[in-house]
Amino acid sequence: MKKILFRTIVVAVSILSLVLIASCATDGSQSGDSDGAYAKADLKLGGLLYDKWAKVRNLETAGNHPLYPALGKKKGGDTFRCKECHGWDYIGKDGRYSKGSHYTGIKGLYDSRTKSPEELYSALTDTDAKHNFSKHLTDSGDIWALAKFIKEGQLDITTALGPDGKAKGSVSRGKTLFDSNCSRCHGEDGNKLDFKGDKNGVQGVGWLANDNPQESLHKIRIGHPGSAMPSMIVERGLSDSETVDILTYSLTL
Ligand code: HEC
Ligand code: HEC
């Protein structure tokens, strides 16, 4: 009888200590990852923040970002978007933004995926640097989500698009995936929702895919800030090559 009582006490004490450890882990305010904040971080959220964090968090920005170069053509809120300096294709000055109105000369983050979560966290929160985003994104969970996207969410754009800009996937596999994952919202022809660009007519999935395949692929993989669109890699569990198939089919719409 005594033995059972003793065992019950041991089990109760172990459960109590586990609960205590778990409750400490919910404080994600430190920059170290001792609390597993990186493991808990949400990759989809990170990709949406990379796209347009001010929209996701409903924040205002003033003027141009302090790191936005004088030679750049953009102004205001756009200059604070990660994608504006580091690119939709994650290779900044070496990719789509190597010339034209989005040129900044800033490198992409694809190679930074080999850095540790803590190094990425520091790059975004160093209070002495102009690159400190923690003054806007005050929830450390958002910073860890960005670190997660950088480490685990980027794709090697050369596996998706050739140097000629042609998509490398399969149109027929893409159609099957589009019909089951996209057409309910975007219509079978991709034109049910009008993205309202600056041209005439409906600007749907096919229009954007042709206008900007790099941006389209990011949206297909991650989703679109402020919308109910699911992330194909996080919520639908598709592989990168399946998302490239969807892009390849989208170009035919
Ligand atoms: C106005 C331009 C600009 C914006 C906006 C911007 N960055 Fe940067 N970022 C830079 C520059 C410049 C560097 C330094 C690049 C270098 O070392 O050549 C940098 C470096 C980094 C690094 C360190 C890379 C490494 O390997 O050392 C990370 C990580 C990073 N940025 C992530 C982000 C994220 C995430 C966002 C959005 C929240 C963002 N950046 C927004 C300009 C920008
Ligand atoms: C649950 C509904 C839903 C599903 C499923 C969905 N989307 Fe979306 N998608 C949206 C909404 C809503 C928007 C925002 C449209 C807007 O801003 O006008 C959007 C935006 C987009 C955009 C970006 C438009 C822009 O303005 O930048 C692209 C590209 C896109 N979707 C493609 C797809 C593709 C391809 C699929 C399938 C892999 C898909 N979507 C699945 C609802 C959905």
Question: Looking at the predicted structure, is the pLDDT value of residue 60 above 70?
Answer: yes
pLDDT of residue 218: 98
Ligand 1 center to 253 CA (angstroms): 35
Through-space distance between the first and last CA atoms of the chain, rounded to whole angstroms: 75
Domain with CATH 1.10.760.10 in the chain: 157-250
pLDDT band at 188 (very low <50, low <70, confident <90, very high): very high
- Residue 145 Cβ inside 6 Å of ligand 1? The answer reads no
Q: Which of 155, 162, 166 is nearest to 251 (CA)?
A: 166
Question: Looking at the predicted structure, is the pLDDT value of residue 73 above 60?
Answer: yes
* Tokens of residue 53, six digits: 């964090």
- Residue 203 Cβ inside 6 Å of ligand 1? The answer reads no
Q: How far apart are CA 72 and CA 187, in angstroms?
A: 37
pTM: 0.90
Q: Which of 199, 241, 200 is nearest to 220 (CA)?
A: 241
3-state DSSP assignment of residue 49: helix
**Residue range 121-148, pLDDT digits in tens:** 999 999 989 999 999 999 999 999 999 9
Which CATH code, of 3.40.50.720, 1.10.760.10, 1.10.10.10, 3.40.390.10, is assigned to 157-250? 1.10.760.10
Residue 143's CB is within 10 A of a number of other CB atoms, namely 27
Question: Looking at the predicted structure, is the pLDDT value of residue 247 above 90?
Answer: yes
Mean predicted confidence (pLDDT) in 56-85? 97
Residue 150: nearest ligand to its CA? Answer: 1
H or E stretch including 121? helix 117-125
pLDDT of residue 11: 52
